[in-house]
Amino acid sequence: MRFTTLTLAMTLAAGAAYANPVAPGDVSFSDTGAIAESLTGTPGDAASGAKVLADRGAGNCVACHKISSLDAAFQGTVGPSLDGVGDRWDSAQLRGLVANAKHTFPGTIMPSFYKTAGYIRPGDEFSGKAAKGDLQPLLSAEQVEDVVAFLTTLKQQ
């Protein structure tokens, strides 16, 4: 319910450009796992993306990845450091990695943040109970774009 209200509010605030993001099932990946176009049709907001990366209730990317410039305690070591990730990948490839990294790295431990089908025993969030109805992606299209916008700023060169 809360999610629905929030989504609605964001849609209203953002206007027409955000009204029809590409649905998770309609996303098209390149051979390297990149997604060429913005999922929302507009560029993301890097400052909002930084919050998604650090927030345990959102992306919580720092659970596994180190990002030195982020003020987030206990950054994990499971994934590679994201320092300088904007030098290593372009925004299309970063978008694909955030949405579903398994297209780029088959078998990777990294969860797919913009996907809603193909799961084994999907749950109702962290309740341990079976999911009710359609799953929501772990991040919204807007959040994916915000994260991508932030990641492209992580340059060392």
Partner 1 sequence: MLRTTTALAVGLIATATLGWADADENELVVNGEIEITTHAPAPAYVDGLTEIYSGWRFREPDTQLTQMDDFDNPAFLAVDAAQITWDTVEGEAGKSCASCHGDVMESMKGVRATYPKWNETAGEVRTLAMQINDCRTENLKAEPYDYTSGKMTAMEALISVPSRGMPVNVAVDGPVQSTWEQGKEMYYTRYGQLELSCANCHEDNYGNYIRADHLSQGQINGFPVYRLKNTKLNQVQDRFQGCIRDTRAETFSAGSPEFVALELYVASRGNGLGVEAPSVRN
* Residues of this chain that bind partner 1 (CB under 8 A): 56, 60, 62-64, 73-78, 109, 111-112, 119-131, 135, 138
CB of 66 to partner 1, least distance (A): 10
Contacts of 101 by beta carbon, 8 Å cutoff, 6+ apart: 33, 108, 110, 112
CB of 18 or CB of 113, closer to partner 1:
113
Residue 2 is classified by DSSP as H
Residue (31 or 74) nearer to partner 1, CB: 74
For the CB of residue 51, give the shortest distance to partner 1 in the complex, in Å. Answer: 16
Rounded to the nearest whole angstrom, what is the least distance from the CB of residue 139 to partner 1 in the complex? 12
* Sign of the torsion angle spanned by Cα atoms 9, 14, 15, 20: negative
Q: Minimum CB separation from partner 1 for residue 74, in Å?
A: 4
34 class by beta-carbon count within 10 Å (0-12 exposed, 13-18 middle, 19+ buried):
buried
Of the pair 84, 122, the CB lying nearest partner 1 is at 122
Q: With respect to partner 1, which residue has the nearer C-beta, 16 or 78?
A: 78
Distances (CA, A) of 151 to 22, 123, 132, 141: 21, 29, 33, 15
